[in-house]
C-alpha cells in the first residue's frame, strides 16, 4: 500500500519547511515530483537530493499569486509528464495583525497568498487531472483554519485558512465525479522558517505546553504519513476530510 511509483505529484511551497519535507517523502514513495516555489536556487538543490530516490524531478519557479506563473507551470508540467496525479497546495505566508489594526495591504497579501492562490492553482491543475479521470488534491490549511487563538493576532491568516477548509469541502463535492479527491491537512505548530521566530520564544513554549496535549511542537516528517495516505491510490473513498495533525491542539 501507499506506493506512488508512476504518479506525478505537484507540490507548491517546496523550497522550505513542510513542502520540502513532503516532497522528500513522496519521492521516497516513488512519485515523480514537480517542486514549485519562487526561490529556484533552493529547488535546484532539492532536485539533486530527490533524484537520489530514482525519480524524475522538475523544479519550477512559480509565484502562486501570479496567474501567468501558474498557467506557464501547467504547460511545463503537461509537456514533461502529460498528466498530474497529486497536487499539494502548501505555499503560504502571512502578515500578522489583529482585526483592529490590520491594514488592507496586510489582509490582501495574506488572503491572496493563502487562499486565492489555492483556488487558482487548484483550478489549473484539476483541469489536467480531469482529463485523466484521476486526482488527489491535498490543501495545507492550519489549526488556525479551524479555531481562533489567544496568543497571536493573525486575523487574515485565520480567515484564509478557514477559507481553505471549506474550499476543500466544496471541491471534494464538485470533483468526486471525476475520481478526484480533495482533502485538507491542518498542521499544528511545526518549527519552520515561517514560525521559528515565534515558536522559539519562552513565552510561546509556555503557551504551547498549556494548549497542546502532547506538550511539544511537531517535528520534521510528522506531516508526511497523513499526506502520503491522502495522496495514495488506496485512499480512493476519502474525500472532503479535514485532518488535523496537531498533537491534539484542536481536540481540547
Binding of ligand NDP by 67 (CB under 6 A)? no
Binding of ligand NDP by 15 (CB under 6 A)? yes
Residues in 156-195 that interact with ligand NDP by CB under 6 A = 187, 189-190, 192-195
49 touches 24 (CB < 8 A)? yes
Distance CA 179, CA 226 (A): 20
Binding of ligand NDP by 38 (CB under 6 A)? yes
Binding of ligand NDP by 37 (CB under 6 A)? yes
Stretch that binds ligand NDP, among 17-25, 126-134, 167-175, 205-213 (CB under 6 A): 17-25
Binding of ligand NDP by 154 (CB under 6 A)? no
Distance CA 139, CA 171 (A): 11
Query: Least distance in Å: CB of 15 to ligand NDP?
Result: 4
Could you say which DSSP state residue 239 is in?
Answer: -
Give the x/- contact pattern for ligand NDP in 73-112, rule: CB under 6 A: -----------------xxxx-------------------
Question: DSSP strand E in the chain: where?
Answer: 8-12, 32-37, 57-61, 86-89, 135-140, 180-187, 242-245
Distance CA 161, CA 184 (A): 10
- In sequence order, the 6+-apart residues with CB closer than 8 A to the CB of 11 are 19, 22, 23, 26, 33, 34, 35, 36, 87, 88, 90
Distance CA 231, CA 85 (A): 9
Catalytic residue of the set 134, 157, 189, 249: 157
153 grid coordinates: 493576532
Binding of ligand NDP by 26 (CB under 6 A)? no
Query: Least distance in Å: CB of 166 to ligand NDP?
Result: 16
Taking the least distance from each CB to ligand NDP, the nearer of 36 and 175 is 36
Is residue 189 part of the annotated active site? The answer reads no
Contact residues toward ligand NDP (CB under 6 A) are 12-19, 37-39, 62-65, 90-93, 113, 140, 142, 187, 189-190, 192-195
Residues catalogued as catalytic: 157
Amino acid at each position: 500500500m501507499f506506493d506512488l511509483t508512476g504518479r506525478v505529484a505537484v507540490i507548491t511551497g517546496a523550497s522550505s519547511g513542510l513542502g520540502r519535507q513532503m516532497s522528500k517523502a513522496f519521492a521516497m514513495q516513488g512519485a515523480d515530483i514537480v517542486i514549485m516555489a519562487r526561490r529556484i536556487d533552493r529547488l535546484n538543490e532539492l532536485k539533486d537530493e530527490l533524484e537520489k530516490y530514482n525519480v524524475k524531478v522538475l523544479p519550477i519557479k512559480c509565484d502562486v499569486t501570479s496567474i501567468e506563473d501558474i498557467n506557464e507551470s501547467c504547460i511545463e508540467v503537461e509537456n514533461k509528464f502529460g498528466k498530474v496525479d497529486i497536487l499539494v497546495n502548501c505555499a503560504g505566508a502571512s502578515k500578522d495583525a489583529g482585526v483592529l489594526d490590520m491594514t488592507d495591504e496586510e489582509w490582501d497579501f495574506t488572503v491572496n497568498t493563502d487562499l486565492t492562490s489555492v483556488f487558482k492553482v487548484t483550478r489549473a491543475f484539476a483541469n489536467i487531472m480531469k482529463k485523466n479521470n484521476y486526482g488527489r488534491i491535498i490543501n495545507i490549511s492550519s489549526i488556525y483554519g479551524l479555531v481562533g487563538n489567544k496568543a497571536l493576532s493573525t486575523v487574515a491568516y485565520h480567515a484564509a485558512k478557514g477559507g481553505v477548509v471549506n474550499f476543500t469541502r466544496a471541491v471534494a463535492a464538485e470533483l468526486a465525479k471525476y475520481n478526484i479527491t480533495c482533502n485538507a491537512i491542518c498542521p499544528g505548530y511545526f518549527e519552520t522558517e515561517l514560525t521559528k521566530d515565534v515558536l522559539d520564544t519562552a513565552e510561546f513554549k509556555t503557551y504551547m505546553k498549556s494548549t497542546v496535549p502532547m506538550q511539544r511542537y511537531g517535528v520534521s516528517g510528522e506531516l508526511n504519513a497523513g499526506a502520503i495516505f491522502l495522496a495514495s491510490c488506496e485512499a480512493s473513498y476519502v474525500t472532503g476530510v479535514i485532518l488535523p495533525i496537531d498533537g491534539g491542539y484542536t481536540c481540547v
